[in-house]
Structure 1
Amino acid sequence: MPQYLVYFNQQWVGDHDEAWFRSRVEPSTAVVRDMQRQGVLVYAGGLVEELEEAASADATSGEVIVTDGPFAETKEWLGGLTIIDVPDDESAREWAGRVAEGCGWPQEVRRFKDGSLQAVTRQG
């Protein structure tokens, strides 16, 4: 089956108070639990929002340069992602809609290129 990335940029979240964010925990985790039950979830998680904890790696000059913070040209940055394994675009769009509804902010969904996502198992 094809695999899809459902994601959002942090800037899409909007400004909300703490109570609003707490109100999104149950609906968003309910969608993830449903994905688990239906066997379509590969991975889901949000990212740390503090950009000073980010780092960027660039090898376009022929030399690898790692710097603190997001890539200098970035105007938006990734806030979280979900990877799902579903039969078709329609199913992926339905799940993306459910994630958007659960979180309360927009999501984008894109199919991985055929053969580009490899299963990785943790050793140890």
Structure 2
Amino acid sequence: MPHYLIFFNQQWVSDHDEAWYQTRVEPSTAVVRDMREQGVLVFAGGLEEDLAQAASADDTSGTPVVTDGPFTTTEQWLGGMTIIDVPDDETARRWAGRVAEGCGWPQEVRRFKGGSMRAAAMGE
């Protein structure tokens, strides 16, 4: 089956107080629990928001260079992601809708390209 990435950029999350975020814990974890129970969950998690904790690796000069911080300064950055293994786009979109509902902010969903790297990484 194809694998899909459901993700959000941190800037898509509206400003809310801590009490509001607490209201999202149960619905968002319920979606992940449902994914696990239905056997479609590969991975789910949020990323650290502090970009100072990021590092970048670049080999375009022919020598790998690893530096502190994000690769480029940008107005948007990845906030979290879920990887699912489902049969088709329609099913992936339904799960993305459930994740958006559970979290309370928009999500984007995209299919991973097929290929040997993906198959090897997934043990296929």
Q: With structure 2 as the length reference, what TM-score do the two structures score?
A: 0.91
- 1:11 matched to 2:15? The reply is no
- 1:80 matched to 2:83? The reply is no
Displacement of 1:19 in angstroms is 0.7
CA distance in 1, matches of 2:76, 2:62: 26
Displacement of 1:8 in angstroms is 0.6
Partner of 2:42: 42
Partner of 2:21: 21
Partner of 2:54: 54
Aligned residues: 120
> Cα–Cα, structure 1 residues 47 and 34, in superposed 2: closer, same or farther, change >3 Å?
same
Partner of 1:95: 95
Q: Give the SS at the match of 1:91.
A: helix
Structure 1 stretches of at least 4 aligned residues deviating more than 3 Å after TM superposition? none
CA distance in 2, matches of 1:7, 1:85: 15
Displacement of 1:82 in angstroms is 0.3
| Unmatched tracts of structure 1, length 5 or more | none
Displacement of 1:28 in angstroms is 0.3
Which structure shows the higher helix fraction?
2
Q: With structure 1 as the length reference, what TM-score do the two structures score?
A: 0.91
CA distance in 2, matches of 1:73, 1:47: 17
CA distance in 2, matches of 1:21, 1:70: 26
| Unmatched tracts of structure 2, length 5 or more | none
Deviations 1:71-120 (A, max 9, x none): 12432111110000000000000000000000001111000111342226
Partner of 1:112: 112
CA distance in 1, matches of 2:80, 2:15: 16
> Cα–Cα, structure 1 residues 96 and 21, in superposed 2: closer, same or farther, change >3 Å?
same
